[in-house]
């Protein structure tokens, strides 16, 4: 039993601890973060800052410009999807999304004249795809939340905080500012 523990159970436990509380790999799927991220890219998802914040060891770990992976608010019509398992069972679950943090608690975020403004100031965004974003009324980011947008702001290309409002930090899995694949592509700030 000691050998089984050392050679099988312990390594699996360590792997589970690392992937749950430390880091894991996430695959990009969709065009909402174009041109920064493309479908098929592999991103390193850092989870440890999330747990530091959840356990009140650190302050808010997310800053404007961070790319984060999160679940949409549970009361949003965009939060749930149904998966078919072997064509027999259907399971509803909240899928993960990847977007950029543009507002942190206390910020007022709006889009006016196709330009993102935070606290009334225009934000220089060299990473946004072409095409004007539709104007959005000012939205104040509450404590414990972040405002996220896709880099592809063209109409219907990114479902983000413009559709479901600020995202609770509890629903953010972590930051994904490091691209692992393909080599040479950087998906951060």
* DSSP E strand boundaries for the chain: 23-27, 42-46, 67-71, 80-85, 89-94, 96-103, 108-112, 115-118, 121-122, 136-140, 145-149, 167-168, 172-181
Is residue 32 part of the annotated active site? The answer reads yes
Is residue 99 part of the annotated active site? The answer reads yes
**Annotated active-site residue in 32, 129, 158, 161:** 32
Q: How far, CA to CA in Å, does 91 sit from each of 69, 80, 121?
A: 21, 10, 44
**Annotated active-site residue in 99, 129, 158, 161:** 99
Catalytic residues, by residue number, are 32, 99
């Amino acid at each position: 039993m000691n050998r089984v523990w050392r050679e099988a159970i312990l390594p699996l436990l360590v792997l589970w601890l690392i992937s749950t509380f430390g880091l894991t790999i996430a695959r990009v799927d969709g065009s909402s973060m174009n041109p920064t991220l493309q479908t098929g890219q592999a991103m390193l998802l850092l989870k440890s800052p999330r747990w530091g914040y959840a356990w009140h060891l650190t302050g808010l770990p997310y800053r404007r410009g961070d790319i984060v992976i999160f679940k949409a608010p549970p009361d949003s019509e965009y939060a749930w999807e149904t998966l078919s398992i072997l064509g027999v069972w259907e399971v509803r679950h909240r899928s993960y999304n990847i977007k950029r943090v543009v507002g942190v608690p206390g910020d007022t975020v709006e889009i006016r004249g196709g330009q993102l403004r935070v606290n009334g100031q225009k934000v220089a965004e060299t990473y946004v795809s072409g095409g004007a974003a539709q104007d959005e009324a000012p939205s104040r980011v509450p404590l414990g939340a972040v405002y996220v947008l896709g880099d592809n702001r063209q109409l219907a290309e990114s479902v983000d905080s413009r559709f479901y409002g600020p995202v609770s930090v509890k629903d953010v899995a972590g930051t994904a500012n490091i691209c692992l694949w393909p080599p040479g592509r950087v998906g951060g700030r």
